[in-house]
Structure 1
Amino acid sequence: MSSKSDSTPPTAGTGNAMAMAVLNAIQNPVVMVDEAGLMVFANWEAEAFFGASASHLARYKISSFIPFGSPLLALIDQVRERRAPVNEYRVDLSSPRLGQDKLVDIYVAPVPSEPGSVVVVFQERSMADKIDRQLTHRAAARSVTGLASMLAHEIKNPLSGIRGAAQLLEQSVEDDDRALTRLICDETDRIVSLVDRMEVFSDERPVDRLPINIHSVLDHVKAIAKAGFARNIKITELYDPSLPAVFANRDQLIQVFLNLVKNAAEALSDTPEAEIVLTTAYRPGIRLSVAGTREKISLPLEFCVIDNGPGVPADLLPHLFDPFITTKTNGSGLGLALVAKIIGDHGGIIECDSQNHKTIFRVLMPASKDITLDDAISPNATGPSR
């Protein structure tokens, strides 16, 4: 006597729904192109990538959405002919329809059950580049950490002796020579100040973090800026009031954004109608490892400092967060390196996009789980407000 299993095999409809759910969960644009070149399937990320719904995309050939002469079309033909998958890296799909800086890695594979059809997966280079930059910034911070420890021990003590000797000489030399002893003291003080700034990089203590209302931080930074270095610059706020709290150290966040706003103000010194824009938004974040743990978190909170200045020189842009890189005549080049270290210690990333009349410093950080801005630490509170 045969017995039936209690479990019921999934129907074709259930399988299709599950496949759709899986494809829509993928954070890369995925499309299926049929033999005629029509995009008969597109997941949610592909809809966002092409700026159109799946039903709209299905009515047009993929050639209608990509630049004329794009190597993607040749890749699709190659896969159809060889019936084997192909990868192509750093393909430029920039166009008025798709937008600028659309640099992608492409994976094209045949669909065995649908002759002539292929699946195309796009990996936006911006995501890979963010990870590369994040690792570079952390490595740069570590190199400064070792240098700071060495300088603090090997330089500050001799400098104290030099300064003391100069002060003793100042009491016995004639008035004409006192300017030289004063110069020695001033220069030793300047070097000590530089070493003190570098010592911050050698602080490896865990960051004390709490749920923080980012808007209270930015309001505080704006108040400081308007009272001093940015008193003649228009500062505009474009905030998302529904943001969750950021899990961070309030004082360090103030240090980060004060540095970014001050840099923006200095870049606008010769710009008519100078303006700084502070923005906050919720974005689908990439996943990165938190420093010192195996945990991976998403970075959905985006905070930007935007200015309409002349922009960052193209040759400087890839190295902007490296130590000792600066465009300022008397700058030390440690400000942005310290910003990158602080953001990295928080498990976030910082990047810069710059062109003429628009420079964006973008900070991506983790949210504090299940805590809204209403529950976050306010400027004068000692704990979450209720």
Structure 2
Amino acid sequence: MAPRDKTKKASDAAKPLDFKALVQGLPHVVVVVDATNRIVFANFAAENFFGLGEALLKKRALPALVAFANPLTALADQVRHTRGAVNEYELDLAMPDRPARSVDVFASILNEREDYVLLMLQQRNMAAMIERQLTHRGAARSVSAMAAVLAHEIKNPLSGIRGAAQLLEAGASEEDQPLAQLITEETDRIRDLVDRMEVFGDERPVSKDAVNIHSVLDHVKRIARAGFARHITIQQSFDPSLPSVPGNRDKLIQALLNLVKNSAEAIGDKNDGVITLSTAFRPGLSLRLPNSDSSVKLPLEICVSDNGSGVPEDVKPHLFEPFVTTKAKGAGLGLALVAKIVGDHGGVIECESRSRLTTFRMLLPMYQPSARKTGAI
């Protein structure tokens, strides 16, 4: 080794560690609060968790961020009193304008300032979200196989049934014509269902390019405002520095349009309906690919939130499975299709819902210029 290299290594080893930079890089939420429980430091993960930048977080105290008998405030006060570290598991945090989260919390006094408390939060639902997402993909694959069979075995006979019904209608009495029309209408309905299911049978790799997700969201918003959501306020909160998504623009429009339409239907005819479209950069989350040793990072977060009726608890675990719906006339394929499109883009999607606040959270990879344009990223 050259003397210059040895000197440089010795110099680097002598440098003090930049602990602030180290904490900023952690995937877990880290905040430091003062004696009044006002935030004095927040890392990037905390900004994403609370939906506010560090500058805004520093203007807030814990009670302003977490509603109801604030467990974080109680933990911070307990640590100051006992002068020891505390671990608390499965705390439910209800935030005023964000979905409730279940977290594990580590709290400790800072050695330099004994009235300052460090709080580190780890979301409990993230691993479960990934596991459910893989289950959703398995369900979509089962529908893919069924769709291929249906397309072949049902569509051809349906054409014959429809043609026969039209012939019957032409020669039927006035009393029997409505019955022939009913046969025609029902065959059309079944054919439409099979057509929609055929989408699940398309296993071809999705052609991907760099896509500006904000352009996609703007397009979806224009469509919604011109039609099914004209009576609803649509807000947006975008991270302007968000990098491109590796994706198919048309497919992403289809997925997000389905989510916005789902939100509009949940709101119904309410006069105070609000749909919020938001984006954020969320480092630290990666998904291990099935049957592989490799993983893909999913730092791009796209959310569609609404103040509608919410999702029933018994439906939540199965929300993205085919034929699961809470609508009287729904086929239960819309959200299953969204899950398939997101999966085809190498991402995951999850729903968090409570009364008057439902959020569909889509996590996607970041575009890499060297990545292939087709297949999984």
Structure-2 residue corresponding to 1:80: none
Deviations 1:147-195 (A, max 9, x none): 1112112222222222222122122221211111111011011001101
Structure 1 residues 246-257: aligned runs within 5 Å: 246-257=245-256
Q: Spell out the pairing of 1:236-247 with structure 2 (5 A cutoff).
A: 236-247=235-246
**1:189 partner letter:** D
Give the Cα–Cα distance (whole angstroms) in 2 for the partners of residues 209 and 338 of structure 1: 18
Residues 357-366 or 160-169, more deviating: 160-169
| In structure 2, distance between residues paired with 1:248 and 1:100 | 27
User: Which residue number in structure 2 is paired with residue 66 of structure 1?
Assistant: 75
* Residue 309 of structure 1: aligned partner: 308
Q: Distance in 2 between matches of 1:185 and 1:63?
A: 62
Provide closer, same or farther for how the CA distance between residues 100 and 11 of structure 1 changes in structure 2, counting only shifts above 3 A: farther
Alpha-carbon distance, 1:369 to partner: 2.8
| Superposed CA offset, 1:291-311 (max 9, x none) | 787542211111111111121
Q: Given residue 192 of structure 2, which amino acid in structure 1 is its aligned partner?
A: S
Distance 2:361 2:336 in 1: 15
Whole-angstrom distance in 2 between the partners of 1:317 and 1:148: 24
The SS at the match of 1:363 is strand
For these two proteins, the number of residue pairs brought into alignment is 325
Within 2, Cα distance between the matches of 1:125 and 1:308?
Answer: 24
Gaps of 5+ in 2: 32-40, 59-70, 107-118, 371-377
Q: What residue in structure 2 maps to residue 56 of structure 1?
A: none
- Quick one: distance in 1 between partners of 2:267 and 2:42? 42
1:140 Cα offset (Å):
1.3
- Aligned with 1:91: secondary structure? strand
- Contact 2:99–2:352 (8 Å) recurs in 1: no
Kindly provide the amino acid, as one letter, of the partner of residue 66 in structure 1: L
Shift of 1:270: 3.2
Residues 83-94 of structure 1: matches in 2 within 5 Å? 91-92=90-91, 94=93
Q: Residue 213 of structure 1 aligns with which residue?
A: 212
Larger Rg: 1
How far apart are the structure 1 equivalents of 2:290 and 2:251?
A: 17
- Whether the aligned pair in 2 keeps the contact of 1:152 and 1:199 (CA below 8 Å) is yes
State how far apart, in whole Å, the 1-side matches of 2:219 and 2:21 are. 43
Letter in 2 for 1:266: E
2: CA distance, partners of 1:252 / 1:95? 34
Q: How has the CA–CA distance of structure 1 residues 29 and 357 changed in structure 2, closer, same or farther, with 3 Å as cutoff?
A: closer
Letter in 2 for 1:193: D
1:322 deviation in Å? 1.0
1:299 corresponds in structure 2 to 298
After superposition, the CA RMSD in angstroms is 4.0
Question: Is the alpha carbon distance of 1:63 and 1:187 closer, same or farther for their aligned partners in structure 2, counting shifts above 3 Å?
Answer: closer
Are the equivalent residues in 1 in contact too, given 2:232–2:271 (CA < 8 A)? no
Partner of 1:333: 332
- For 1:227, the equivalent position in structure 2 comes to 226
* Structure 2 equivalent of residue 269 of structure 1: 268
Question: Residues 14 and 319 (structure 1 numbering): CA distance in 2 closer, same or farther, change over 3 Å?
Answer: farther
The amino acid that maps onto 2:224 is: A
* 2:367 counterpart of 1:358: no
* Cα shift readout 1:7-37 (whole Å, capped 9, x = no counterpart): 6897997598499987875534799xxxxxx
CA distance in 2, matches of 1:279, 1:197: 29
Counterpart Cα distance in 1 of 2:92 and 2:267: 33
Q: Which moved more, 1:233-242 or 1:189-198?
A: 233-242
Separation of aligned partners in 2, 1:305 and 1:196: 27
Paired residues of 2:213 and 2:245 also in contact (CA < 8 A): yes
**CA 1:325 to 1:64, structure 2 compared with 1: closer, same or farther past 3 Å?**
closer
Q: Read off the aligned partner of 1:139 and give its amino acid letter.
A: G
The one-letter code matched in structure 1 to 2:75 is: I
User: Equivalent residue of 2:231, what SS?
Assistant: coil
1:140 maps to 139
Counterpart of 2:310 in structure 1: which amino acid?
G
With structure 2 as the length reference, what TM-score do the two structures score?
0.72
2: CA distance, partners of 1:137 / 1:14: 51
SS of the residue 2:244 aligns to: strand
Identity of aligned residues (%): 52
Structure 1 unaligned residues grouped into runs of 5+: 1-5, 32-41, 54-61, 78-86, 108-119, 372-386
Match of 1:346 in 2: 345
Given that 2:30 and 2:46 are in contact with CA atoms closer than 8 Å, whether structure 1 keeps it comes out as no
Q: Any idea what the Cα deviations from partners look like across 1:68-120, whole Å, max 9, x if unmatched?
A: 999xx9xx89xxxxxxxxx99x6336488xx985534689xxxxxxxxxxxx9
SS of the residue aligned with 2:368? strand
SS of 1:244 mapped into structure 2 = coil
Is the Cα contact below 8 Å between 1:67 and 1:95 reproduced in 2?
no
Alignment check: 8 A CA contact 1:23 1:43 kept: no
Residues 23/360 of structure 1: CA separation in 2 closer, same or farther (3 Å cut): closer
